[in-house]
Amino acid sequence: MAHSHGADSEVGTLTTVMLHRPGNELKRLTPRNNDKLLFDGIPWVSRAQEEHDAFAETLRQRDVEVLYLTDLLTETLASETARTHAISSALSGLHLGDTLRTYLAQAMADASPQELTDLLTAGIRNDEVRGGHGLVTSLLSPYDFLVDPLPNLLFTRDSSVWIRDRVAITSLAMPARMRETQLTELIYTEHPRFAGGTEQIHGWHNEHVEGGDVLLLAPGVIAIGVGERTTPAGVERLARQVFHGRLAHTVLAVPIAQERATMHLDTVCTMVDFDKVVMYPNVADTLRAHAVTVREHGEHETDLVLDVAEAEPFLVAAAKAMQIDTLHQIDTGLDPVTAEREQWDDGNNTLALAPRVAVAYERNDETNERLEEAGIEVVRIAGSELGSGRGGPRCMSCPITRAPLVV
Ligand SMILES: NC(=[NH2+])NCCC[C@H](N)C(=O)O
């Protein structure tokens, strides 16, 4: 069946989304490794799954087709080429040594597609290896991971992003997340739903760009946060690619604080209408953007000559590029302490289902009330466990298709 995929805005009616239902990879988290694995606590896994199932159900009730990353992966792994590729990339680390690598490659090759999906997402710990007892396995601690678990797969926003009809395979900055894009790349390359018909841009081998930093402000206008995750060179690379592919006319490069609380642009600002954003009040006055445009196209991406404007207030630069009078910031009017608490719990990380309809964590009472006062329908979901990885509804979703935005 031919599918057409893609998105040209943050708010066009959402029709297909990719989620990841939290699984065994979360059971790998311990108080000793949670910081490195980018979680702030140890989630109660079964409750996280319940919360996630309710999130998915909420989307389905609104006619959104929900695809699960692991289902797509298992279907992809039915192909021998895909399996070989998945196994060799998962075992490419230099911590393994030849004996163990050969043993693991065989064990993974013997696994069913479903088992292989589990090994690739939950990882393999040294004490789980029953054979291959050579030097490396004896010297490593039993609790060392031979294949790292991927607890942050939950945040499907970051590991790929659709821009118009292309999908950007991102390049994740934190070591704990780098393997995620081996999986998204494999799905988009080999899964029958995407194979052949989907053109990919960027790539995990390129400069760092994470999907949480990429906001499709309007058809042709993309804001990209630059901070802890996306690097200045990452923005330049993606800008060149979207300009070369004629996917956008303006990229706004938006510096954000290099801190965990604001790891991505979507932790401080998301769109809830074609001309409205909800923004963390404590950065609203200082957020700035450089508009990047094309001075000269060329035959190749590298021939492009870019124009980079002086920084302007973000809302001003955005409205100009979007060719609207004002990009409104919904004034949540929160005092700085409440604002800081609710930002930490992803109050600003909303997922638009359509203009003026947004999914948000129920816990952020004040932000949600203000959104409703401003005419936004807030679809509340529970997230006490899901939120321990520091991500809200937008982070946990990768829109694969949105209806083109009609204003
Ligand atoms: N788009 C987002 N804001 N994603 C949140 C990702 C959270 C994840 N624990 C990380 O640190 O990478």
Range of the domain at 344: 52-66+151-168+200-402
User: Is 228 close to ligand 1, i.e. is its CB under 6 Å away?
Assistant: no
Residue 390 CA to ligand 1 centre (angstroms): 6
* Crossing angle of the two packed helices 180-190 and 80-90, in degrees rounded to 10: 170
Q: What pLDDT, on the 0 to 100 scale, is given for residue 347?
A: 84
The total domain count for the chain is 1
Q: What is the mean pLDDT of the chain?
A: 95
Q: Let me know if residue 133 belongs to a domain.
A: no
Residue 152 has pLDDT above 90, yes or no: yes
Q: What pLDDT, on the 0 to 100 scale, is given for residue 346?
A: 86
Q: Let me know if residue 162 belongs to a domain.
A: yes
CB atoms near residue 113 (< 10 Å) = 16
242-262, pLDDT tens digit by residue? Answer: 999 999 999 999 999 888 888
Only one residue has tokens 């009730």, namely 61
Residue 395 alpha carbon, nearest atom of ligand 1: 1
Report the relative pairing of strands 312-313 and 269-273 from DSSP bridges: unpaired
398 catalytic, yes or no?
Answer: no
User: What are the structure tokens assigned to 385, written together?
Assistant: 């466990």
Q: Cβ(117)–Cβ(349) under 8 Å?
A: no
Q: What pLDDT, on the 0 to 100 scale, is given for residue 109?
A: 97
CATH number of the domain within which 381 lies:
3.75.10.10
Q: Whose CA is closest to atom 10 on ligand 1?
A: 38
Q: Let me know if residue 393 belongs to a domain.
A: yes
CA nearest neighbour of 351 among 210, 155, 220: 155
User: Is 266 close to ligand 1, i.e. is its CB under 6 Å away?
Assistant: yes
In this prediction, does ipTM exceed 0.90?
A: yes
Q: Let me know if residue 389 belongs to a domain.
A: yes
Q: Let me know if residue 351 belongs to a domain.
A: yes
Provide the pLDDT confidence category of residue 1 given band limits of 50, 70 and 90: very low
Q: Which of 33, 346, 390, 397 to mutate to test the pocket of ligand 1 (most atoms within 8 A of CB)?
A: 390
Q: Let me know if residue 80 belongs to a domain.
A: no
* Mean pLDDT confidence for 184-207: 95
Q: Let me know if residue 383 belongs to a domain.
A: yes
Residues 6 or more apart from 103 whose CB is under 8 A from it?
129, 131, 132, 134
Q: Let me know if residue 30 belongs to a domain.
A: no
